Structure 1
């Protein structure tokens, strides 16, 4: 197995990339909707025009909410001290159990590094809440997994 600190670094980089991709997608949706909103011209079908504008406004609000979530994820990632090693699970911990391996950061899903799957989970997710504050050897009530190691 590769240096676990290096794996944590790669997991952190993958989470940053995940957030950047989400940010780029939402930003392009916002730009596209702005263009559509400004290019929308009033036609003889006034109701249709107003409905189209209302739909675009709703899309813009939804994208703005997604942007707020993305900024929260960036803040969480900025708080992680990747070099920190603790005997108690905290933000930035790499947790190896007999069922799966987790990186406590943001909810970015499965990340594969050198043919090994890791799950990036947030402290607010069900598994993240179960893991937070536990120590090596603890049994977590999530699939009856036993924590084998924390990095």
Structure 2
């Protein structure tokens, strides 16, 4: 059976893949619409439609770039190593919840335990980076203690 880190990593990887698939489908649909718009000859209406599709394609391209950045972060994670210090790929079991430092995916439930997949550049991710077991920090007015690091 896969360990918790591997399961969390796989969930994040699937999240990125699903997002990538949706964006690529959208780009394909936009491309097909652009092709069919080219065949139409409705004057100004035609030009407006093409311009709108071009904007949609640019937006999808920007989203594609964001997904590629997420993939780059995932490549850097070593799901088999452990450390006594919080770093990319670490899991912090705290007095206020469990956090997986990776990409921002949100709440993940594995074996009846809840984990929050967060990026290192998020407010709580920044607070967790470099911390060790027993360290304390304050977040949203709550005192948080790191009880374990996986």
What TM-score comes out, normalization by structure 1 length? 0.91
- Give the drift of 1:82: 1.0
What TM-score comes out, normalization by structure 2 length? 0.92
1:79-105 superposed Cα distances (whole Å, 9 cap, x missing partner): 111111111100000111111101101
The counterpart of 1:98, out of the listed 95, 98, 114, is 95
- Which residue of the partner structure matches residue 73 of structure 2? 76
- Give the drift of 1:42: 3.9
- Give the drift of 1:140: 2.1
Map residues 21-100 of structure 1 onto 2, 5 A cutoff: 21-40=18-37, 41-44=39-42, 46-100=43-97
Give the match's secondary structure for 2:130: coil
Q: Tell me the matched-pair count.
A: 147
Map residues 110-149 of structure 1 onto 2, 5 A cutoff: 110-142=107-139, 143-149=142-148
Runs of 4+ off more than 6 Å: none
Unaligned ranges ≥5, structure 2: none
Unaligned ranges ≥5, structure 1: none
CA distance in 2, matches of 1:55, 1:102: 41
CA distance in 2, matches of 1:55, 1:141: 46
Query: Aligned-residue CA RMSD in angstroms?
Result: 1.5
1:34-59 superposed Cα distances (whole Å, 9 cap, x missing partner): 00011114433x22222211111111
